[in-house]
Amino acid sequence: MTAEGPPAAPLVVAGALAGPARLGAARLVAVDGPAGSGKTTLAAAVADGLRAAGATVSVVHLDDLYEGWSGLEGSLWPRLEAQVLAPVARGEDGLFVRWDWTAGRFADRVRVPAPDVLVVEGCGSGRRAADAHATLLVWVEAADDLRLARGLERDGQDARGHWERWMRDEAAHFARERTRARAHVHVDADGRVVPGPLADPAHPGRPGTAG
């Protein structure tokens, strides 16, 4: 990680702007990967880069939509589609109901202005259901011990059980969805692009050029 942000951010920005719009007139960038890997930091840098290039950007963090620690599956994706993706595809603002982690319930409504580029960040954002809409799927990864340490530093040692359960759930999710194999760009814990054969943005899930 550099002082200017994750080194991979400019590549993601360029890929997002060069790729086709598949969410109506908008481009969807999904920043996926296991918890604690650095997705939020990368998504923020990508949003800044896109805005600097003249694009309007909205960022949605799936942490605001999970229904608690067991919320990776279930109603997550149907709610994201109905409340955010479908309206943005029509050129309208999205409006989702935010999960309050302290109160343990859904709380206030959050408006998502219809943008040129919608960045959705969080575990599960790049599932197969996103392929029809996504311009770019980015996978961010880090070692399990580093991710757990980051998570417990943020949430406290009392959250260890929740984190260990989440890590099992996300591992099963990623194995089923083959998220890493389908990603167009791979990024490591330091925010650097991982070289290798990546997916072709024109044909999600198919091998493309080396990164």
Domain ranges, ordered by start, for the chain: 9-210
For Cα atoms 209, 188, 197, give the angle at the middle one, nearest 5 degrees: 15
166 φ/ψ sector (left φ>0, alpha ψ -120 to 50, else beta): alpha
Nearest to 37 by CA among 126, 104, 113, 114: 126
Pick the CATH number of 9-210 from 3.40.50.11240, 3.40.50.720, 3.30.9.10, 3.40.50.300: 3.40.50.300
Categorize the per-residue pLDDT at 203 as very low, low, confident or very high, splitting at 50, 70 and 90. very low
For the chain, give the mean pLDDT: 91
Q: Provide the 8-state DSSP code for 50.
A: H
Coil, strand or helix at 123: coil
* Positive/negative CA dihedral, 130, 131, 135, 136: positive
- pTM for the model stands at 0.90
* Positive/negative CA dihedral, 75, 79, 81, 84: negative
* Structure token pair of residue 63: 């942490």
- Asked whether 135 and 55 are in contact (CB, 8 A), the reply is no
Q: Give the model confidence (pLDDT) of 149-196 as tens digits.
A: 988 888 889 889 988 999 999 999 999 999 999 999 999 999 999 986
The amino acid sitting at 34 is P
- Asked whether 193 and 141 are in contact (CB, 8 A), the reply is no
